[in-house]
Amino acid sequence: PNFAASECRLEDADQVMTIVRDFGPDVIVHLAAQAGVRYSLENPRAYLDSNIVGSFNILEAAREVGVDHLLMASTSSVYGANDVMPFQETEKTETPLTFYAATKKANEAMAHSYAHLWNIPTTMFRFFTVYGPWGRPDMALFKFVDAMLDGRPIDIYNHGEMYRDFTYVDDLVRGIRLLIDAVPV
């Protein structure tokens, strides 16, 4: 079908279902979400609508068309209050510290149930601070560069006592592409 991604709202179940039915994909890679920890404090409704309702609509569409593989984005934020470092996929994620993380943890639980109930092979990704071209302007990299170019001081959180892993977008895309063909059994 001929449509622009900007024309589709994940919260619109009928629209999502129509697009998926018309296209008839074998694989769905669901990366859309309302991202960002800080904005979830200001506008939690945006996270509920996009991350919960929108992802539910994707799950329903995947179920209806019977995709061979569903791949969905989560976040490293689901590790929440977990203090075991470095994070490992096997660590518990029952203590999200932000509403954003809670919505992504809910997505993981919903996807797990759909995989079980409807036999949908599903892979979840827990991304760590993705950066690169076309990145979000609220990310530290862009904020730091903007402030430095404008002669303003950079904002430092947690008194500078913070460490982060970053993932370059091209590495992430390469990994997703390889995982499309690695259908879980």
Position 75 scores a pLDDT of 85
Distance between CA atoms of residues 27 and 165, nearest Å: 29
Position 108 scores a pLDDT of 96
Distance between CA atoms of residues 74 and 93, nearest Å: 12
State how far the alpha carbon of 52 is from the alpha carbons of 106, 107, 116, 125, in Å: 7, 7, 19, 16
Position 173 scores a pLDDT of 94
Strands 122-127 and 130-131: unpaired
- Catalytic residues, which ones? 100
What residue ranges of the chain have pLDDT lower than 70?
Answer: 1-6
Position 6 scores a pLDDT of 53
By the 8 A CB rule, do 164 and 49 touch? Answer: no
Position 174 scores a pLDDT of 96
Position 4 scores a pLDDT of 53
* Half-sphere CA count of 45, side-chain side, radius 13 A: 0
Task: Note the pLDDT tens digit of each residue in 32-41.
Answer: 888 887 788 8
Position 5 scores a pLDDT of 53
Position 111 scores a pLDDT of 98
By the 8 A CB rule, do 69 and 26 touch? Answer: yes
What pTM was estimated for this model as a whole? 0.83
Distance between CA atoms of residues 5 and 139, nearest Å: 23
Mean pLDDT of the residues in the chain: 88
Position 1 scores a pLDDT of 45
The DSSP bridge partners found for residue 127 are: 75
